[in-house]
Amino acid sequence: MNKVLVLMSGGIDSSVAALLLKNKGFEVVGFYLNYTPYCNPRDEEDARRVAEILNIPFYSLDITQEFEEKIIKYFVESYERGLTPNPDVLCNDLIKFGIILEKALSLGFEKVASGHYAKIIKNNDFHLLAGKDKNKDQSYFLWKIKKEKLERIIFSIGEFTKEEVRKIASQNNFPNAYKKGSSGICFVGPIKLREFLKNYLQPKPGLIIDTKGNILGKHPGYFYFTEGQRHGLNIKTGKGPYYVVKKIPKENLVIVAREGEPELYTSQIEVIDLNILERDIIKSENLIEARFRYRQPLVKAKVEINEEEKAKVEFLEPQRMIAPGQSIVFYKKDLVLGGGIISKRIPFDIE
């Protein structure tokens, strides 16, 4: 019997994932990842109650130190550099399917499972695919997982829609069957991002200018803003709305543009920190599809990877509001080909 560690967050997705695996005959053990003070105690209690219903062992693992060192530090430093990071991608790679996967294997588990809406299939090799529910598909957050790890990971709800998962939870009388799903950045919680960052980055007032260099206002710190942001700029020219199109950390500047200005769009980007899962397909295909924002419709693009393992991505049509620091993920239909971190827009880049 295969022994599986299931990451149980207290939500219905991971709860149903555990149920499905138990019904298939796996020896299931539930693990809750506790990173105080960012977790809601109710989530752990919900996970524990589901484990009791399933009659499976359940443990709570404190990963606060690892989370602070690997996720929070990266998140804050990225904003300080003028980037817009995606911590979920790093958490999946370094924590859930990094530290926890290694620990699980060392303890005798054969696989680690989670409640992600994605699929892993074996066809000679192991491949990562988008989940059945296109509205909930989470493959965008999983591109950084190394290919050799896929055989040790199970996404058991990938063949289901959210409605089907909720129905299964209800039929099994799970206490969290109608629990609202989480959204946003987990460790920021209900407070605004700016308030969270103030715990780490002290205000650093500077100027807001337009693309021609005209001063439009002042900001409390460039790192409190992200590309594409419209609210919170406090520009009173009466000519808006304005959107952030660039931040220059060295000069403490926030540059904005109005609707219709070309700086809102880009046709080419540079991508670093690549993790290519299907290299042969990327090399052979003239056009692939890409997504640079969660739930964004796929867009067609050309991808060229150089000897330094950096990629130049050229979109068939100009794309709006691309933020350096975010992830871009490549697809061929449902198959995830790989991804990387957007380092700059060409030619309108971050210095």
Residue 206 corresponds to which tokens in the numbers above? 């500077």
- Decide if 264 contacts 212 (C-beta within 8 A): no
- Residue 39 is among the residues annotated as catalytic for this protein: no
Q: What Å distances lie between residue 187 and 9, 38, 58, CA to CA? A: 13, 5, 23
Alpha helices in 235-296 (DSSP H): 279-284
How far apart (Å, rounded) are the C-alpha atoms in residues 327 and 292?
6
Alpha-carbon distance 126 to 110, whole Å?
A: 16
Q: Are strands 111-114 and 3-7 parallel, antiparallel or unpaired?
A: parallel
- The first and second tokens of residue 345, run together, are 């827009």
Which residues lie closer than 8 Å to 231 by C-beta, 6 or more apart? Answer: none
Tokens of 66: 């690892």
Q: Does 347 sit behind a cis peptide bond, omega within 30 degrees of 0 on the bond before it?
A: yes
Distances (CA, A) of 117 to 37, 105, 129, 163: 27, 23, 10, 12
| Nearby residues of 105 by Cβ (< 8 Å), 6 or more positions away | 152
Q: What tokens appear for 183 in the block?
A: 């959204």
My answer on whether omega of the bond before 241 falls inside 30° of 0, hence cis, is yes
Indicate which residue of 19, 63, 71, 91 is catalytic: 91
Q: What are the residues facing 120 on neighbouring strands? A: 128
Catalytic one among 18, 29, 113, 186?
186
**Rounded to the nearest 5°, which phi and psi values hold at 140?**
-55, -30
Question: Could you give the C-alpha distances from 307 to 122, 272, 312, 313, in angstroms and in order?
Answer: 29, 12, 12, 15
* Cβ atoms within 10 Å, residue 74: 15
Of the candidates 264, 286, 280, 282, the one whose C-alpha atom is nearest the C-alpha of residue 345 is: 264
**12-23 and 162-171 helices, crossing angle to 10°:** 70
Catalytic residues: 91, 186
